[in-house]
Amino acid sequence: MTKEAAFAGHYAAHYRQVRALCRQLLGTADRADDAAQEAFARAYRAYASYDATQSFAAWIMSIARNYCMDLLRRGSKERALFGSEAEEAAAAESPGVDGLGAALTAERASAVNAAVAKLPERYRVPLALAYFGDADYDDIAKTLGITRNHVGVLLCRAKQLLRQALTDADTDIRGRALQEEPS
Amino acid sequence: MSCPSPVALSIHADGESSARESRVIEQHVATCSACRARLEALRDETFVLRRALRDVEDVAPIPQFVPPPRARDFVVLIASIVLIGGFSQAFWSTVSAAIPAEVGWLSPFASDALVGRVIDITTFIFSEGTAMLTATLNFIGAALVLAFISWIAFSAGRRRVFMGAAAAMLAVAAALPSTGHAFEVRRSEGAVTVPAGETINDTLLAMGQSVTIDGDVNGDLLAFGQDVLVRGNVSGNLITGAQTVTVEGTVGGTVLSGARELSFGNARVGRDLYGFANALEIASAANVAGNAFGFGESVDLEGRVGVDFRGFGNRVTIGGAVEGDADGYAGTMTVQPTARIGGNVTAHVDSVGDLTVADGATVGGNVDEQIVERERRRNHYETVGYYVNQVIRLAGAFVTGLLLLWVFPAVRTASLPNVVAVLQSGGIGLAAAVTMPVAAVIFCVTIVGIPLGLLTFLAGAIGLYFSKAVIAQIIGRGVLSNPERPAHWAMTLLVGLVIVIVAINLPWIGGFANLVLTLVGFGVIVSLIFARLNRGQLA
């Protein structure tokens, strides 16, 4: 099989997954479309260095992830991107924010996704890496250039905000989150 | 101990706590039901979150992957423009001349009458050779410069080297004047005129409702509009497309013209004339120094043709002088009393009596009426010579096909997996065969200026020429398909060619088979080239 045919096969098989990761990391569909194309373009150029005994999915996902991270870093004042660990930790521990309940588990996937898309970047990115990209804390810490504990704090915060958003949406207008899901 | 913090618990739920921390939390949870419930909820939450994120219902279609451009693509692009541009220039004027007689049957243009024009290509090279060589060298030089500039610009864009971009801009600016004066464009909603007394020392592209040329054009003239009238002098070739085209002046080169009504009055044509029209008239005052080819519902020759005349049409009438042979592929062909024909008169007609030669007409050679087509062909099957010819044809095609597959290995694996692919390729082949010359003319005038000519013409002709070899290879592979032990490509080519030869010699449907196979094969070639271009892999 030629390189082109092999690559076309990989593209068809992994595009949606890559696009979804880009969507989670970048937040908007437009940016995700472009980023997914760019990720595959980079993979195409570097295809010679791809070790066929390894998983293509893992390889392309890491390319996509790195590219998205580059974009995010470029688009923000790098130091502020993930906030201060201490402040975040304080926010996470502050009383009353951890209202664990049925909010998250009872929701439909589309509502959860809509809420995730609305999260600020600093929470959305680690969340996507951890629960979509299946990266462990060490990976995420390395990718984001923050400490391992900071990752834990951000994830905890992310989930708190998600619960908050979903509870608000429920009490506000039931189902609004469902309709407003950005495509 | 006190309850663990929300963060610690969240980290623990993700399975990311340190070993020591884990032990502490587990011990605590064993005794604290509130924390146990929280931990349980967090784990459920993680599960739901993972599932939700993955559950993105992505119904949008997967877009086409566009491979990143490479420097090579620019070279290929420029090379293609060169090829296509030049191809168009020479395509029409030499289309029938470039095909070697022995394997001429592979060509869709093959016909007995055209085989005789092989000699023309030699003449063409000698007469046009010097000027063409100069133009060719200039053109290749310009193309290389352009390629180099593009490459610099491309590299600069990639590496964000500002200097490189600036250098490229400068180079482009420097290169522009040399291409800028290559042709002149005159465009108007209404009338475009070159009045008497005005001289244009360039190739002129004129487009307008009406185009009237009374002055002189020292170069080629390309004129498009509703009415085109040429009364002045054109030193080069004349290419026109319009509803009515009237030529009253002098054209130094070849005339290629398509129109509903096409007439040559007091016109002088230095080389050949190719006219496509509903009604084509070459009046008695007109003089064509080279060959004249007329395609139309009615083709009427009253003037003089310096070499051969060929008329394709429902009614072909000859009342003027033809120094060479006069051939008609016609419903009816009439040679009037005023006609003087130096060579043979041959009519390819449906039935005896469709050719009329008036008593007063002078014919230097023989008068021959050839009845097309079916009766004659059927008789062929009974002669030995027919089969010998077919074997010779097979051998010729096999050798050229081998050469093709050897030079372009990609063709060996070209395939048409299903009926849709066959139809698609046929469509592409038809579209390419029809639109290529048109697109090429546009390229020719808008981008490349005076094009290459012979060399590039060959590239286009070769595509059509080899289309049957390509289709034969595909058919052969289909017949000999054996996934475990694939047959050698030479073998599949041979088998395929045998089938193709049989198919195109079938009575009644042979001509149709010929056309279809040619178009499908051509479509495959075009697709292959485009696929390669898209992937930037034209090596």
User: Range with the lowest mean pLDDT among B142-156, B335-349, B437-451?
Assistant: B437-451
| pLDDT higher at B435 or B537 | B435
Look up residue B54 and give its amino acid: R
Q: How far is A140 from chain B (nearest CA, A)?
A: 12
The pLDDT score that the predictor gives to residue A105 is 60
Q: With the CA atoms of A137, A143, A148 and A152 taken in that order, what torsion angle do they form, in degrees rounded to the nearest 10?
A: -60
Least confident of A2-6, A138-142, B13-17, B513-517: A2-6
* Chain A hits for B54, Cβ within 8 Å: 20, 132
C-alpha to C-alpha distance for A106 and A119, rounded to whole angstroms: 19
Whether residue B57 and residue A112 make contact (CB cut-off 8 A), yes or no, is no
pLDDT at B537: 43
**Could you say which of A100, A116, A137 has the minimum Cβ distance to residue B53?**
A116
Query: What distance in Å separates the CA atoms of residue B10 and residue A137, rounded to the nearest whole number?
Result: 12
Residue-level pLDDT at B130: 43
Indicate the pLDDT class of residue B119, thresholds 50, 70 and 90: very low
What's the one-letter identity of residue B80?
A: S
The ipTM estimated for the assembled molecules is 0.79
What pLDDT does residue B415 have? 75
State the smallest CA–CA distance between residue A53 and chain B in angstroms.
Answer: 23
Residues of chain A with pLDDT under 50: 78, 173-183
Quick check: B10 and A155 CB within 8 A?
A: yes
Helix (H, G, I), strand (E, B) or coil at B333: strand
pLDDT for B305: 93
Q: How confident is the model at residue A84, as a pLDDT? A: 72
Please give the average per-residue pLDDT across B138-149, as a whole number: 58
Residue B322 has pLDDT above 80, yes or no: yes
CA distance A78 to chain B (A): 22
Report the residue count for chain B: 539
Task: Name every chain B residue with its beta carbon within 8 A of the beta carbon of A90.
Answer: none
CA distance A132 to A130: 6
pLDDT at residue B181, rounded to an integer: 39
Say what the pLDDT of residue B264 is: 94
Contact B16 A153 (CB under 8 A): no
More confidently predicted of B81 and A83 = A83
* Candidates A15, A44, A104; nearest CB to B68: A44
Whether B70 shows a pLDDT value over 80: the answer reads: no
The closest CB to that of B67, out of A41, A98, A107, belongs to A41
Range ranked top by mean pLDDT from A175-179, B144-148, B369-373, B450-454: B369-373
The answer, yes or no, to whether residue B111 has pLDDT greater than 50, is no
Instruction: Flag if A23 and B56 touch (Cβ within 8 Å).
Output: yes
Chains A and B: how many Cβ contacts under 8 Å?
A: 106
* Domain A3-74 classification at class level: mainly alpha
What's the distance, Cα to Cα, between the start and end of chain B in Å?
73
Q: Is the pLDDT of residue B48 over 70?
A: yes
Is there a contact between B260 and B240 (Cβ–Cβ < 8 Å)? no
For B536, the closest chain A residue by CA position comes to A4
**Which member of B44, B55, B537 has the closest CB to residue A105?**
B44
The reply to whether residue A89 touches residue B7, judged by beta carbons under 8 angstroms, is: yes
CA distance B33 to chain A (A): 14
Q: What angle do CA B500, B505, B511 make, to 5 degrees?
A: 95
Among B42-46, B69-73, B531-535, the range scoring the smallest mean pLDDT is B69-73
More confident residue, B72 or A36: A36
In angstroms, how far is CA B482 from the centroid of its own chain? 35
The whole-number pLDDT of residue B82 equals: 59
Question: Which among A1, A105, A119 is the top mutation candidate for probing chain B, defined by the most B β-carbons within 10 Å of its own β-carbon?
Answer: A105
Residue with the bigger pLDDT between B109 and B503: it is B503
For residue B319, what pLDDT is reported? 92
Domain assignments of chain A as residue spans, ordered by start: 3-74, 78-179
Amino acid A80: pLDDT = 56
Per residue in B198-242, pLDDT tens? 888 878 888 888 899 999 998 888 888 888 999 999 988 898 888
Mean pLDDT, residues B489-506 taken together: 84
Q: Is A74 exposed, middle or buried (0-12, 13-18, 19+ CB in 10 A)?
A: exposed
- Which residue in chain B is spatially nearest to A17 when comparing CA positions? B54
Task: Give mean pLDDT, residues B114-122.
Answer: 41
Q: Which residues of A touch B50 (CB under 8 A)?
A: 131-132
Q: Is the pTM of this model over 0.80?
A: no
DSSP string, chain A: --HHHHHHHHHHHHHHHHHHHHHHHH-SHHHHHHHHHHHHHHHHHTGGG--TTS-HHHHHHHHHHHHHHHHHHHTS-GGGTT--HHHHHHHHHSTTS---SSTTTTS-HHHHHHHHHHS-HHHHHHHHHHHTS---HHHHHHHHTS-HHHHHHHHHHHHHHHHHHHHHHHHHSTTHHHHT---
Residue from the list A40, A93, A149 with its beta carbon closest to the beta carbon of B65:
A40
Name which of A100, A157, A159 to mutate to probe chain B: the one with the most chain B Cβ atoms within 10 A of its Cβ: A100
Domain boundaries, chain B: 6-54, 70-180+376-539, 184-375
Residue in B with minimal Cα distance to A116: B53
pLDDT in tens, B377-412: 445 566 677 777 778 778 888 888 888 888 777 777
Chain B's closest residue to A124, CA to CA, is B53
- Mean pLDDT, residues B345-360: 86
Q: Which residues of B touch A (CB under 8 A)?
A: 5-8, 10-11, 14, 16, 38, 41-42, 44-46, 48-58, 60, 62-63, 65-68, 535, 537
Q: pLDDT by residue (tens digit) across B147-175?
A: 665 655 555 444 444 444 444 444 444 44
Q: Residue A91: what pLDDT?
A: 72
Q: In the numeric block, which tokens belong to residue B460? A: 């286009």
Structure tokens at B434: 């029809």
Given a cut of 60, is residue B533 above it in pLDDT? yes
Q: What is the pLDDT of residue B74?
A: 59
Instruction: Answer yes or no: is pLDDT of B176 > 60.
Output: no
The pLDDT, as a whole number, for residue B250 is 92
Q: Determine what percent of chain B is predicted with pLDDT higher than 90.
A: 14
Among the partner residues A4, A98, A162, nearest to B6 by beta-carbon distance: A98
Show residues of chain B in contact with A92, CB under 8 Å.
5-7
CB-based contact A15 B7, cutoff 8 Å? no
Residue A33: closest C-alpha in chain B? B63
How far off is chain B from A137, nearest CA to CA, in Å? 7
Distances (CA, A) of B376 to A117, B327, B382, B384, B507: 77, 19, 11, 15, 10
To the nearest whole Å, the CA of B410 is away from the closest chain A CA by: 11
Nearest CB to B58: which of A16, A112, A156? A16
